[in-house]
């Protein structure tokens, strides 16, 4: 068995649960917390596993389609065109990288001194 248990409080939303050490259960029970039934936890785990398996299945065809959509290796005539394109990439970007705004705190400190 696990050393941790899941509990919820009746005055809180049902989705708001806590995981506490099994030894601390009497302390939480005295404060009104109730243990979440194991059947409910098992059902949630099964649904999560099914959803993960479905998502994995859905992602597999995308990988295969991506491989099919990738262009073939360039022919001998294309590298010259690519070289010109590579040189244009070395130029400065169209938009400069944005920097975070600087604070004027340094100027205020200088005025005070």
Residue with tokens 């070395």: 90
**54-70 b/e (C-beta count within 10 Å ≥ 16 → b):** eeeeeeeeeeeeeeeee
Better-scored residue on pLDDT, 15 or 78 = 15
Whether pTM > 0.75 for this model: the answer is no
User: Is the Cα dihedral 36, 38, 44, 45 positive or negative?
Assistant: positive
**Reported confidence tier of residue 74, pLDDT bands at 50, 70, 90:** low
Q: Above 70 in pLDDT, residue 86?
A: no
The stretch 30-52 carries a mean pLDDT of 94
Which DSSP string do the residues of 17-57 spell out, in sequence order? EEEEEGGGHHHHHHTT-EEPPHHHHHHHHHHHHHHHHHHHH
Q: What are the residue boundaries of the structural domains of the chain, listed by start?
A: 4-61
**Reported confidence tier of residue 61, pLDDT bands at 50, 70, 90:** low
| Confidence (pLDDT) at 58 | 83
Q: Above 70 in pLDDT, residue 73?
A: no
pLDDT (tens digit, 9 = 90+) per residue, 1-17?
569 999 999 999 988 99
d(CA 36, CA 7): 5
Structure tokens at 46: 């099964």
């Amino acid at each position: 068995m696990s050393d941790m248990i899941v509990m919820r409080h009746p005055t809180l939303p049902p989705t708001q649960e806590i995981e506490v050490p099994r030894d601390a259960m009497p302390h939480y029970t005295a404060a009104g917390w109730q243990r979440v039934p194991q059947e409910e936890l098992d059902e949630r785990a099964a649904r999560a596993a099914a959803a993960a398996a479905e998502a994995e299945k859905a992602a597999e065809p995308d990988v295969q389609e991506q491989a099919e959509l990738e262009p073939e290796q360039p022919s001998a005539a294309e590298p010259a065109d690519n070289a010109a394109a590579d040189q244009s990439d070395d130029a400065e970007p169209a938009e400069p990288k944005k920097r975070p705004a600087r604070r004027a705190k340094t100027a205020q400190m200088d005025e005070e001194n």
